[in-house]
Amino acid sequence: MLEDTVNTEDKTALGAGQKRVLFSLAVVLILPTLGMSSINVLLPTLAEEFGVGQALVNWVVVAYLLSLTAFILGAGAVGDSVGRKRALRIGISVFCVGSIVAGLSVNLWMLIAARLFQGIGAALLLSQVFALASVAMPKRKVGLAMGLLGTTAAIGTALGPLLSGAMLEWLSWQFTFWLMILLGGAAYFLIARFLPDDVASPPELQRFDVIGSAWLSASCLFYVLAMPSSSSSSLVLHSVFFFFSVAFIYCFVQSQKRAQFPLVSLAFLKHKLRNTSLIVSFFVDAIAMSTLVVGPFYLTYALGLSPVTVGLIVSIGPCIAAVAGYPSGEVVDHFGIAFAMFLGLLMILIGTISFAILPSLFGLYGYVVALFVLTPGRQLFLAAHHTFVMTTVAEKEKGMGSGLINLCKNLGLMTGASLLGGVFSVLLQVKSAALASSAQLNMAFSLTFLLAALFILVSLVALFVISRKQAF
């Protein structure tokens, strides 16, 4: 078993086996993050090539996040059933097949379907990484491991815009997906080579909760459909979709009460401070995703930048995050979870307000300054949040804790792509960002991030109030 292998290492320092496991997990983590960020720079080109507006082409991003979010908890159960190493290998295979179909897509709907399939593979990968890392590392080094994985995720997010921008400038958008296949092959080799087998016994296969997964998938789908997509969207229709989303999540909760092997144990959700931290992480990731979805349209049409330059600018934030990941883990380990979490949120609030104000005043320079404030704050918050969740759950609940971290994260990313992306589209009041004036683009961009800043302010206050009643 993997747990037995890594626990034989020195508890005060990382052994060679632990380093190899952590490196392998880091490469795996790059794959789904690259799949998430590499598409954003392509959106303006895809909108023009397929002759659709921003609201519709956003589904290339949303489809990936939708399937990833809907299957993340079920994927965690699959890992518990068949073994985490096997789950990772299956996930890499599914992701690569989705990448092949995406690269061969001849219309937008084929590309969206391929992205849905990619998201399923990404769910299998992300559902295991944090659980495996928390087992592989000595307890006093868990914060460091989470910080390093945060750096890895940021590297994948940074590489996405850079590589896709370069492919778009010199080759074609399809080559972005061919690169993902190559990385998938490397990840598969490392997992097969360095992770010990941990295959579960056949009786454990009954753990997968099909009914619960179906309710959660339906709820996520209608949640996305409920998000505004353009100024012509029907308020009544979106309200109906939202009602169905709430109804399906209620059915999901009821199914978890009756399931013999639920995706989420309701007893796990009785920790109020941990629940609040998970909810706050949802808003933090929604804002992070809005910079990756709204940002390329603003940089392309308001500032008139080329695809390569847009890719370079968009990758600045993830590069900052990559550098900030390790120090963030050290801050958590040395100064405590509470200090790191609140400082991170304060920096996110200031950074979000900076996005709302500085780009319209100083153009590209203002945009970059805002990135340098918001991004380190997000890394600091996430390192503290991941450490808090994974160190407050029982050993047998590590997989569930990892699944919930990723569920909240991907719900946030999906909301940033759909809701905040939709708000930006609605505020433009034109079918395509290419048709908007600079004044319209600046106003829509500023108001979108002012709304985001309000979410963070409320989150900061709520977390402070709850922490006064239940300490970290």
Query: Tens of pLDDT along 125-150?
Result: 877 776 676 666 656 665 666 667 76
> What sign has the CA pseudo-torsion 29, 8, 330, 287?
positive
Which of 11-20, 139-148, 164-173, 393-402 tops mean pLDDT?
164-173
Residue 51 has pLDDT above 50, yes or no: yes
Q: How far apart are CA 430 and CA 437, in angstroms?
A: 10
Q: How far apart are CA 152 and CA 318, in angstroms?
A: 10
125: tokens are 């990968």
Query: Tens of pLDDT along 83-120?
Result: 677 778 888 889 989 888 888 877 888 888 889 889 88
Query: Tens of pLDDT along 273-323?
Result: 888 888 898 999 888 888 877 888 888 888 888 877 887 887 787 778 778
180: tokens are 């993902």
Question: At which residue do the structure tokens 């995050």 appear?
Answer: 321
Identify the band that residue 343 occupies on the pLDDT scale cut at 50, 70 and 90: very high
Per DSSP, helices labelled H in 38-141 are 43-50, 54-57, 59-82, 84-103, 108-136
Q: Are 238 and 226 in contact (CB under 8 A)?
A: yes
Query: Tens of pLDDT along 147-185?
Result: 677 677 767 777 777 777 777 777 777 778 888 888 888
Q: Are 162 and 315 in contact (CB under 8 A)?
A: yes
Percent of the chain with pLDDT over 90: 8
Q: 448 or 471: which carries more pLDDT confidence?
A: 448
> What sign has the CA pseudo-torsion 267, 272, 278, 282?
positive
AA identity, residue 98 = G
Mean pLDDT for the stretch of residues 33-48: 78
Which among 54, 157, 59 is positioned nearest to 111, based on CA atoms? 59
Percent of the chain with pLDDT over 70: 81
Which among 372, 347, 369 is positioned nearest to 360, based on CA atoms? 369
pLDDT at 3: 47
24: tokens are 């392998």
Question: At which residue do the structure tokens 């144990």 appear?
Answer: 265
Q: Are 222 and 239 in contact (CB under 8 A)?
A: no
Q: Are 330 and 144 in contact (CB under 8 A)?
A: yes
Q: How far apart are CA 92 and CA 211, in angstroms?
A: 25
Query: Tens of pLDDT along 235-258?
Result: 777 788 888 888 988 888 888 777
